[in-house]
Structure 1
Amino acid sequence: MSILEIFILALIQGFTEFLPISSSAHLILPSQILGWKDQGLAFDIAVHLGTLLAVVIYFRKEVFSLLGAWGGSFAGTHNSESRLAWWILIGSMPAALFGYLAKDFIELYLRSAWVIAGTTIVFGLLLWWVDVKAKQVKGEYELTLSNALFIGFAQALALIPGTSRSGITMTAGLMLGMTRESAARYSFLLSIPIIIMSGGYTALGFLDDGVVVNWSELGYGAILSFVSAYVCITFFLKVISKMGMLPFVIYRLLLGAGLIAFLTL
């Protein structure tokens, strides 16, 4: 890959992983619109590692606290943090299961610009409607098991390119009455297990193939995606309560409409 491709793809991954606009769609589109070669599994793993490090470092206090509380739950010590840790793990299971079972089908039939255009518009409108109607009174520590499963099954929908993992989980959280900020925080924390699982699964396939990689490309990609993801998380959490989801909805509608226009010309 050229330096320009590495730069653009890594920034796309970092900025779009945690914004409700779909990172998978933005990573697929350059190859379909600009004719770029697929970046390959190794680069995907590298940029996802960068975004994983960004969210873990940003939420380092919460992560250590949740892990400690989760470990204590095996000794019979339960509190709001141990419950939240379990909800995050349980909420990750639907996407992991459906991803494993439907991976080939998704790769074969759903990674197209037409699908991305449709899901970008449909789930963008759903996000707008929920954001307007949501009560926004609940924090992430007030979630129940059924709430965690609901958000978890919503996260599984993000396997369809264009849906947006963060977008659909925030939408589900708002449906349950969460505030924008708490829905965003929970969505970001929920990303940690799924990025680890999907990245680990992809890495195993990559190692089995025995492909020779360019380590400098991977290093640049990981660093750039880390920096852009950290900036994105910081910015998003500071402004989302006041700004709302409308700017991202407008972006999704424009992107979807632009894709349809491009495909029909």
Structure 2
Amino acid sequence: MTGPWALLLQVAEPAELSKQMSVFQAAMLGIVQGLTEFLPISSTAHLKVVPVALGWGDPGVAFTAVIQLGSIAAILWYFWDDLTQVTVKMVQAAKRSDYASPDFRVGLGIFLGTLPIVICGLLIKALVPDFDNSPLRNSSTIAQMSIIMALLLAGAEWLGKRKRNFNDLDLRDGVGMGFAQALSLIPGVSRSGSTLTAGLFLGLERAAAARFSFLLGIPAITLAGLVELKNMFDAGTSSVGWLPLIVGTLVSAIASYISIDWLLRFLKQRSTWVFVWYRLAFGVAILAAIATGRMQNI
């Protein structure tokens, strides 16, 4: 077997991340983060599986969340005009009591849609303090969730009516996609994948669902990155190092911007089937590697 799947199926010795992550490793993980954060294929899954498959070990939740700040910088840059318009017009609509305003609905939808992932995240922190080492983060769970979400995305492609555009968004979309976003706390689900799938089931056009998915993700990704950045400050950076962390974040920002622009253009003309097949292949390859002993289930 040749190509990327051959790399995944190569023998990966069990290992923890080295005491000092190299700049090269950080840059590579920044590319992985940036290219997969906004594509419906799960950045968390790839950030866990790719370094494990390469024998680098698991970079951990903290590193993963911090380099997401690069992704949030990219999305703020890309959607700055949209965010400014929604914020200003939402305030203006509230002053006029014009609650039917499209911008007010989008803004309120983002707020309400953020609550489920915040509440679930706090519950996980409180009830599962060692979530970083939880079975929910092992490679087999990631593979299974990748396959399940591929099937759900396929169902959304088949059943979604795709008759409503971005201006037709309402609170139902915000709440529905918000609950779907909360599922992304399980590695392998994919925040963008779960919200895009929910949007298609709710009858949104592909590009409209992706655009709202990006806007909805801004608070969640920002909060996760800031919380873990604080934790890393408190714990120190001996396991990563500041230079690799900075490099990984900058590379993540550039790759994220490219992936956002590409996906929006892609979904205006094409379906999500390429991501369905990719997720199926990704999940099956991981399970095959684990079953044959070529990859550790960590």
Aligned positions, number: 265
- Deviation track 1:72-110 (CA, whole Å, cap 9, x = no partner) reads 345345321122111001101101110111242743220
The aligned residue for residue 196 of structure 1 is 222
Q: Is residue 67–residue 225 contact of structure 2 (8 Å, CA) maintained in 1?
A: no
> Which sections of structure 2, spanning at least 5 residues, go unmatched?
1-20, 293-298
More moved, 145-154 vs 253-262:
145-154
The aligned residue for residue 163 of structure 1 is 189
CA distance in 2, matches of 1:211, 1:164: 27
1:118 matched to 2:174? The reply is no
Q: Is residue 36–residue 42 contact of structure 2 (8 Å, CA) maintained in 1?
A: yes
Quote the offset at 1:203 in angstroms.
2.2
Q: Is residue 33–residue 67 contact of structure 2 (8 Å, CA) maintained in 1?
A: yes
Quote the offset at 1:31 in angstroms.
4.0
Quote the offset at 1:220 in angstroms.
1.3
Question: 3-state SS of the aligned residue for 1:240?
Answer: helix
* Higher fraction of helix: 1
- Deviation track 1:200-248 (CA, whole Å, cap 9, x = no partner) reads 2212322332445633222211211111111111111111132211111
The aligned residue for residue 17 of structure 2 is none
Which of 260, 277, 297 is equivalent to 1:233?
260
User: What does 1:107-186 align with in structure 2 at a 5 Å threshold?
Assistant: 107=132, 108-186=134-212
> Which sections of structure 1, spanning at least 5 residues, go unmatched?
none
- Deviation track 1:37-56 (CA, whole Å, cap 9, x = no partner) reads 44356643442111001111
The letter of the residue matching 1:234 is D
CA distance in 2, matches of 1:152, 1:64: 21
* Identity across the alignment (%): 36
Bigger-Rg structure (1/2): 2
For residues 62 and 99 of structure 1, do their structure 2 counterparts lie closer, same or farther at Cα, with a shift above 3 Å needed? same
CA distance in 1, matches of 2:62, 2:198: 32
CA distance in 2, matches of 1:46, 1:161: 16
User: What does 1:1-265 align with in structure 2 at a 5 Å threshold?
Assistant: 1-39=21-59, 43-78=63-98, 79-103=101-125, 104=128, 106-107=131-132, 108-211=134-237, 214-265=241-292
Q: Is residue 106–residue 160 contact of structure 1 (8 Å, CA) maintained in 2?
A: no
Q: Could you list the runs of 4 or more consecutive aligned residues of structure 1 that deviate by over 6 angstroms after TM superposition?
A: none
Q: Is residue 207–residue 267 contact of structure 2 (8 Å, CA) maintained in 1?
A: yes
CA distance in 1, matches of 2:154, 2:131: 26
Q: Is residue 114–residue 178 contact of structure 2 (8 Å, CA) maintained in 1?
A: yes
Q: Is residue 121–residue 185 contact of structure 2 (8 Å, CA) maintained in 1?
A: yes
The letter of the residue matching 2:47 is L
The letter of the residue matching 1:54 is A
TM-score by length of 2: 0.83
The letter of the residue matching 1:44 is T
The aligned residue for residue 3 of structure 2 is none
Task: Compute the RMSD of aligned alpha carbons.
Answer: 1.8
Question: 3-state SS of the aligned residue for 2:161?
Answer: coil
Question: 3-state SS of the aligned residue for 2:185?
Answer: coil
Quote the offset at 1:182 in angstroms.
0.1
CA distance in 2, matches of 1:223, 1:198: 17
Question: 3-state SS of the aligned residue for 2:194?
Answer: helix
